[in-house]
Structure 1
Amino acid sequence: MGDAGPSTDGHGISRIAIIGAGPVGVSCAKYLVAEKAFSTIDIYEQRDRVGGIWNLSEPVRSKRIPIPQIDPRYGHDQNGAVSETLDFESPLYDYLETNIPKQLMAFSDKPFPEDEPLFPSHQAVLRYLEQYAEDVRHSIRFSTAVKNVRPASDASGKDKWDLTAETLTTKETVKERYDAIVIANGHYTIPYVPDIKGVKEWNSTYPGVILHSKAYRRPEDFQENKVIVIGNSASGLDIAVQLGKHARFPVLLSSRSASAFGTLPAGGYREDVDEIVEFLQPQENVQRAVRFKSGRIEKDVDAVIFATGYFYSYPFLSKVFPSVVTDGLRARGTFEHLFSIDHPTLAFPVINLKVIPFPLSQNQAAVVARVWSRRLQLPSTSEMRDWEQEVIQERGDGKHFHLKKFPEDAAQINGLFAWALKADKKEGLENDGIGKLGTNWNERQVWMRSRFPDIKAAYSASGEDRLKVRTMEELGFDFDQWRDHADDNDLELFVQAKCLQTSSRY
């Protein structure tokens, strides 16, 4: 493993700040408290309640973003100063339901209520998170926005962090010094709208027709419209299905490749088309038209919704070098998608994409707590840089860096669990000195993870009756029955076993 650098041994960590009281921030707080090694754990939350993005809001400013939107620092200058913030506007929409079954989505120490549907509504998730946060609520500074986190050093040369925040109700400035910071502000703030040929001019000619999915709230706003949805990840698929029930024509779902989220009901809901390569300027008898890669031209388009994702954005870290964000496609200089390599007293939980965030946040929090309490030690700085370079060679230096598709996400969860178990034992902790542990997915959970796009499709196909469904077995997905009939050479069984056997190399 090698010697850790002078800033990686966790020595002297006593005061910790957590930025964000969403599910990730609250989860981290619980594990840090359970470690019984830190004197102060403060949570900064700019809203007036817990839940993060699960607090639905109207998209007033999100409707005003420029088209295209390719600036990862949108709304902030190079020094982090704010000109137009989107931080308070959630990417949720009115009829959003989770795309993950509640049994898989839940924190391991708090299941969703039995009477909730298999895929709970966003309102149910917010209720769940408010209950989950009860025992750390006293540590949360609500309506307090972090403006700047600046590195400092004490006499020993260890990293310290000077945090500046603003109490939004009184405009009072708050200044505190911490030994470590958890960055749990999420990555659904700054929308990305690609610069497709002609899109800027098209938007000027037809203002208000193009929007990002962050500004979408309800299908009734597009009653009888011809709509194109660009992007077929979870939000794109879900929005297309919702709109298809109201649109004048089948919703055109434009994408470059097949979706990783499986197949949702088709028929009158939508028509899958290839990617848009040009937004056409007005001509005689051709208005509001686009051209697809296939050559097809669609005209008289009433709305275009870009479900094309978000940039990574940490404007309050503008004084941290090397820069965590450059092009916004990933968080730079991170080890195991979690610790800053140059500043290991900065942690970035759940920056991965295509993952199950709640259980992942638990297992990452368990590792962070053990590293910062010195029960686990990180490898040397050079080894951590080698890890980052290996990922770059494998996935590239852009948007795929943090991508964790199944089965990699399952392996990540179980690998983190195994890593946390390697920590030294300590008197005073629960579990015979092991401390608070997250989750170790068993075969049934891994199998559910491999099937959940199909489970969601079957659930959606049930119409209004779906709200009566509580388990995947009610939809015909029975793990025990599948296992009893599975061939030992079944490829899926091999993949699942591989997930279960994966453990951290550290």
Structure 2
Amino acid sequence: MVRLASFTFVLLPLAALGYEQHQEPFSALPDVKTPSKSIAIVGAGSGGLAIVKTIFDLPEDVRDGWEVVLYEQRRDVGGVWLPDPPGPLPRPPKLPESPLYPLLHTNTPHPTMTYPGFTYPPFTPLFPSHEYVQQYHADYAEQYNLTGYLRFHHKIVAANWVGDSVEGKWDLEIEVQQPHGPPRPSISRRSFDHLIVANGHNHYPHVPHWDGTEGWLANTPPDTPKREIVHSIYYRDPARYTNRTVVIVGAGASGRDAALQVGQTARVAYQSLTPTNEPTPGAKVVPKPRIAYFTNASVVFEDGTSLDDVDSLILGTGYHFHIPFLSPPHSSVLSVDPHTTFNSTTAPSLITNLRYIFPTHKHIFSLAPGIPPTALAFVGLPVLVANCPSDIAQSLLIAHALANSSVLPTHAQMLQELVEREDKLRAAGLDPYYVGHRLVAESESDQDYQDGVVQYLKDVGAIPEDGKKFVEPWRRLGRGKARLLARAWQRAVQLGVDREWLEGAQTEEEWADVMERLVEWQEAYEEEHGIPEFEDQSVWYL
């Protein structure tokens, strides 16, 4: 049972950091009838694997008797990188299992995306396709014997806290659908002391509302493709848009990808942008402002211009922060209110406005009244981060707090820290309830966030002070020079020398050297050819 109390502080060795390079894999703990602590984890993407690994990096005497179970509703690890199962793509309103599309590649170099101490295999392309990334997660789970703790085809339907702000348990309702079992899933119930949510935030599409869409959709002109408005979660093949007129809405990752790919096949492709965004470099698109409304015949934009020959709209408009098993009607833990007037200090419960789950400590621990902070934690809420290292940083704090809740400040101190973060964003002219979990430069970079989480553990003595930042300099280089590296990698492939660049790269240091040399090579080339800095900043896809 979760109970807030003071404990004698446990000084944990460096191995508890979870990022030693030559760590031996551990063996699965035997089942215990009466665990000293029970922990349920939801999601087998990068965050779920990170927290399981990090828990078992704790000294054995600290985690002795702990029961750890990870529930994953899909068939394998990898989260967003695991493709759809075979068969036709679901049609709205049913959602596909993944937003992944066949041409998806990473848009940052893979050495910057790795779990600390666990690199991609030799000769992995610097900007790999999704197959490499999913296999990387599978290899990680196998290397560290994590699979014994994973329960595939197990969907959490409801999670309810039975207790108060001092102690209690989680009551989980679990839907089990075996792939070759009965057509109807079975339902089971389990109780746990702690719940860790690591199920990602790229599943529930944000679909903007415009006046007139129903009339526009219902009035397809004769002899033209049936008009459609689809979110990018349904996007798979640019060939589907051959000879169509397409409007791509948004300039985030999915909007950029659709612009680059559909621009090659469409009759005409437009990209609808906010005033602060630019058209995707390298994409064959015509820029347009934001959409204002629809008529039966046209798409009308905010500058008063209109298009009357549009066949398809692809919405690269992002996703909601929504966790159904914590929310009504299944649970009352997380209230859903896009127009809430509550803030982090007045919220009567955990709340999502669909952009921001609040109040939380460091985007990790719930600060909602009625639940102890260590009872509910999240891995992977931050946006615009390198997921695997960030997930490890968060998992380190969670694991140590599970071992000793006094690692964390008081509830009042954590809430004050959250208020100060929100005030810092406001001072920069940003609305924290709109920015949400995005780690923007005005607040802190993703690397600074990771460093801060781990440095806190050093400051309180939970892990030794080694005088080093958690985020290595080469990771900062790779993230900061990602677009330059994309151009360098494109040129290396075009010249047929890409494998030469990868020769001998196995360790983190060797992959770092590849990136450093590619940066120097490309910078010299662009300077020699008079290519202005920041020109053609598109991320290139194989």
TM tier, shorter chain?
A: 0.7 to 0.9
Unaligned regions of 5+ residues in structure 2, if any?
9-34, 221-225, 336-349, 503-513, 526-542
Q: How many residues align?
A: 440
SS in 1 for 2:314: strand
1:253 is matched with 271
Distance change (3 Å), C-alpha of 1:60 and 1:461 = farther
Give the superposition deviation at 1:205: 3.7
Pairwise CA RMSD of aligned residues?
A: 3.3
Q: Cα gap change, 1:184/1:424 in structure 2, threshold over 3 Å: closer, same or farther? A: same
Shift of 1:215: 0.3
2:92 corresponds to: 64
Match of 1:328 in 2: 354
2:262 to 226, 243, 249: 243
Once residues 270 and 465 of structure 1 are traced to their aligned partners in structure 2, the CA distance between those partners, rounded to angstroms, is 27
Aligned partners of 1:144, 1:16: CA distance in 2, in Å? Answer: 15
Q: State the match for 1:366 in structure 2.
A: 396
Which residue of the partner structure matches residue 206 of structure 2?
A: 192
Matching residue of 1:232: 251
Q: Partner residue of 2:146? A: 136
TM-score normalised by L of structure 2: 0.74
Question: What amino acid maps onto 2:261 in structure 1?
Answer: Q
Label 1:372 to 1:327 Cα distance change in 2 as closer, same or farther (>3 A): same
- Displacement of 1:422: 3.5
2 CA distance for matches of 1:265 and 1:10? 57
| Deviation for aligned residue 1:104 | 0.4
* Corresponding position of 2:102: 94
CA displacement, residues 251-279 of structure 1 (integer Å, 9 cap, x when unaligned) = 2111104459x96314xx22222211122
Cα pair 2:43 2:70 within 8 Å, conserved: yes
1:259–1:153: structure 2 CA closer, same or farther, 3 Å change rule? same
Query: 1:378 is matched with which residue?
Result: 408
Match of 2:56 among 11, 29, 33: 33
Q: Which stretches in structure 1 are left out of the alignment for 5+ residues?
A: 66-83, 283-288, 426-432, 483-506
CA–CA distance in 1 between the matches of 2:262 and 2:281? 13
Asked if the contact 2:488–2:522 (Cα under 8 Å) also holds between the matched residues in 1, the reply is no
The aligned counterpart of 1:415 is 452
Q: 2 CA distance for matches of 1:465 and 1:409?
A: 34
Change (3 A) 1:254 1:384: same
Give me the whole-angstrom Cα distance separating, in 2, the residues matched to 1:414 and 1:148.
34
In structure 2, relative to structure 1, the CA distance for the partners of 1:275 and 1:10 (3 Å cut) is farther
- What does the per-residue CA deviation read over 1:27-61, in whole Å, with 9 as the maximum and x for residues that have no partner? 11000111233411100011111111111117967
Over 3 Å counting, the alpha-carbon distance change for 1:465 and 1:370 in structure 2 is: farther
Q: How far apart are the structure 2 equivalents of 1:21 and 1:322?
A: 22
**1:11-410 to 2 correspondences below 5 Å:** 14-35=37-58, 36=60, 37-38=62-63, 39-57=66-84, 63-65=91-93, 86=95, 89-134=97-142, 135-153=145-163, 157-169=166-178, 170=181, 171-206=185-220, 209-249=228-268, 251-259=269-277, 264-266=281-283, 269-282=284-297, 289-318=298-327, 319-321=331-333, 323=335, 324-342=350-368, 343=371, 344=373, 345-374=375-404, 377-393=407-423, 394=425, 395-406=430-441, 408-410=445-447
| Aligned residue type for 2:296 | Q
Query: Is this contact kept in 1: 2:77–2:138, CA < 8 A?
Result: yes
- Distance apart, 1:100 and its partner CA: 1.3
User: 2:67 is matched by which residue type in structure 1?
Assistant: T
In the superposition, relative to structure 1, how do residues 254 and 477 fare at CA in structure 2: closer, same or farther (>3 Å)?
farther
Deviations 1:286-318 (A, max 9, x none): xxx212222222221121100000111111112
- For the 8 Å contact 2:4–2:405, the answer to whether it is kept is no
Contact (CA 8 Å) 2:72, 2:152: kept in 1 or not?
A: yes
Three-state SS of the structure 2 residue aligned to 1:399 is helix
Query: 2 CA distance for matches of 1:218 and 1:180?
Result: 41
* Contact 2:379-2:391 within 8 A present in 1 as well: yes
Residues 13 and 115 (structure 1), Cα distance of their counterparts in 2 relative to 1, 3 Å cut? same
Residue by residue, what CA displacement relative to the aligned partner does 1:462-484 show, whole Å, maximum 9, x if unpaired? 776697565445654469999xx
> 1:209: how far off?
1.3
Query: How much does 1:456 deviate?
Result: 3.0
478 and 419 in structure 1: CA distance in 2 versus 1, 3 angstrom threshold = farther
Task: Tell me if the contact between 2:168 and 2:193 (Cα under 8 Å) persists in the aligned partners.
Answer: yes
Is the Cα–Cα contact under 8 Å of residues 96 and 121 in structure 1 kept in the other structure? yes
Q: CA deviation at 1:219?
A: 0.6
Letter in 2 for 1:270: V
